[in-house]
């Protein structure tokens, strides 16, 4: 019991401590007792199965419930909202101001049931996963420690660099991306549920990687994903461009530790660095391609503008930045009543703290101001219809 307490206290908050101790003592990066792979029930394709049948069954049940909430229940809520608005003399198809929409729909029972159900499903999903990984703390921490200093990919950790704005529980995830030793584990399995069970083989990320454009001169030697979380897109980019040097950065040290471990398990030589998207520490004119996936709506407006500046610095002339994210600017702000309530629920109760700041950013204008040539292509209405080329 005392050993469990010491490991939880000392190792949980110090991502790089094991490697530092090994360096000071002159020992190798990991001792023999830390090499066990925690894979109790095998894997299905790329996905390591959840460690117990009970947890796996629970996850499948919650995924089924999420599909119902996102489908039939959300459709019923939209219809009920339209009826409520009509009863109050309002046009449900026209844009509404946020406060007016919240006032008009505050007593709609179906909208309330939908939002309440979605929120508590999310909380239950996180809680189940956290209990598993923290309940078997030593085994999972030992596995991750053993992987920190082995390849084929590289891992760079920089403890203590997290600014205050990164320390909140995005999506209600306990501890957020920076404050829980198993944030990467919890995020990976949680988002499998979040994607309605349609990403167990990283198929969504493979699709995103396939969509990333290449520079006009066709040269792809170095690629960076910023805000890489548990590394699924970074790995997919390395598999699409096997001859390129591919990096992922994230401010969550537990995220990149898990990303590194999982990439190595898959035999993919992707590299990961614990760093801010707006301060990557890479050299000037270094990358051919810079991309991100659902990053910008998780940072402040000032953070987004700083990322544009950093992208301009680290991309080589003719390199490109291809951000992928949700609807922005007019498409978001001009939502109807039910859409405004959904956004408010996401911002307030799913802890998307800077959603409204994100929606206020004029991406083409700000990218141009940062020195890019901006070209629209791809899916209309999304941020990822924009490709920003660094001027020669």
Name the phi and psi angles at 112, rounded to 5: -65, -45
pLDDT of residue 41: 86
Return d(Cα 73, Cα 78) in angstroms, integer. Answer: 9
- What is the residue extent of each domain of the chain? 155-180+202-390
Contact 172, 122 (CB under 8 A): yes
- Structure-block tokens of residue 65: 């419930």
Q: What is the DSSP letter of 46?
A: T
Return d(Cα 134, Cα 136) in angstroms, integer. Answer: 5
**Inter-CA distances, 125 with 46, 131, 222, 229, Å:** 21, 10, 37, 18
Q: What is the DSSP letter of 299?
A: S
Distance of alpha carbon 325 from the chain centroid: 11
Of the candidates 264, 220, 266, 259, the residue with the CA atom closest to the CA atom of residue 242: 220
Going from the first residue of the chain to its last (392 residues), give the mean pLDDT of each consecutive group of 10, the final group possibly shorter.
34 35 31 50 91 92 96 97 98 93 97 96 95 94 94 96 91 95 97 92 95 96 98 98 98 98 96 98 98 93 96 97 74 76 92 89 91 78 79 80
Q: pTM for the whole thing? A: 0.87
- Structure-block tokens of residue 281: 């520490």
CATH node for 155-180+202-390: 3.40.50.150
Instruction: Report the chain's C-alpha Rg in angstroms.
Output: 22
| Residue 150 three-state SS | coil
In the block, residue with structure tokens 């209600």: 172
Contact 297, 355 (CB under 8 A): yes
| Residue 266 three-state SS | coil
Residue 297: CB atoms within 10 Å: 23
Contact 7, 141 (CB under 8 A): yes
pLDDT of residue 312: 97
pLDDT of residue 29: 34
Secondary-structure percent of the chain, ordered helix, strand, coil, rounded to 5: 50, 15, 35
């Amino acid at each position: 019991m005392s050993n469990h307490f010491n490991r939880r206290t000392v190792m949980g908050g110090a991502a790089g401590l094991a490697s530092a101790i090994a360096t000071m003592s002159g020992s190798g990066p990991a001792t023999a007792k830390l090499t066990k792979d925690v894979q109790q029930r095998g894997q299905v394709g790329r996905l390591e199965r959840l460690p117990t049948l009970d947890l796996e069954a629970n996850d499948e049940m919650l995924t089924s419930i999420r599909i119902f909430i996102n489908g039939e229940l959300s459709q019923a809520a939209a219809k009920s909202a339209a009826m409520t608005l009509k009863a109050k003399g309002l046009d449900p198809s026209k844009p509404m101001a946020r406060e007016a929409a919240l006032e008009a729909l505050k007593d709609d029972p179906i909208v309330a049931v939908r939002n309440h159900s979605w929120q508590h499903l999310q909380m239950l999903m996180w809680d189940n996963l956290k209990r598993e990984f923290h309940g078997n703390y030593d085994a999972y921490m030992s596995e991750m420690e053993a992987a920190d200093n082995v390849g084929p990919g590289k891992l760079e950790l920089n403890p203590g660099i997290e600014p205050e704005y990164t320390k909140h529980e995005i999506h209600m995830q306990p501890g957020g991306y920076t404050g829980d030793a198993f944030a990467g584990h919890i995020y990976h399995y949680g988002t499998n549920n979040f994607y309605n069970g349609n990403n167990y083989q990283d198929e969504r990320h493979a699709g995103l990687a396939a969509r990333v454009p290449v520079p006009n001169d066709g040269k792809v030697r170095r690629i960076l994903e910023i805000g890489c979380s548990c590394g699924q897109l970074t790995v997919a980019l390395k598999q699409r461009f096997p001859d390129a040097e591919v990096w992922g950065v994230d401010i969550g040290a537990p995220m990149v530790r898990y990303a590194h471990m999982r990439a190595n398990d898959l035999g993919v030589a992707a590299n990961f660095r614990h760093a801010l998207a707006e301060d990557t520490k890479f050299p000037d004119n270094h990358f051919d391609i810079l991309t991100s996936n659902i990053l910008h709506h998780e940072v402040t407006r000032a953070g987004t503008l700083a990322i544009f500046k950093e992208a301009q610095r680290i991309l080589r002339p003719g390199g490109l930045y291809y951000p992928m994210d949700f609807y922005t600017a007019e498409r978001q702000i001009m939502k109807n009543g039910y859409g405004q309530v959904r956004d408010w629920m996401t911002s307030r109760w799913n802890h998307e703290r800077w959603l409204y700041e994100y929606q206020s950013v004029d991406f083409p204008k700000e990218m141009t101001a940062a020195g890019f040539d901006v070209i629209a292509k791809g899916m209309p209405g999304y941020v990822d219809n924009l490709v920003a080329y660094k001027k020669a």
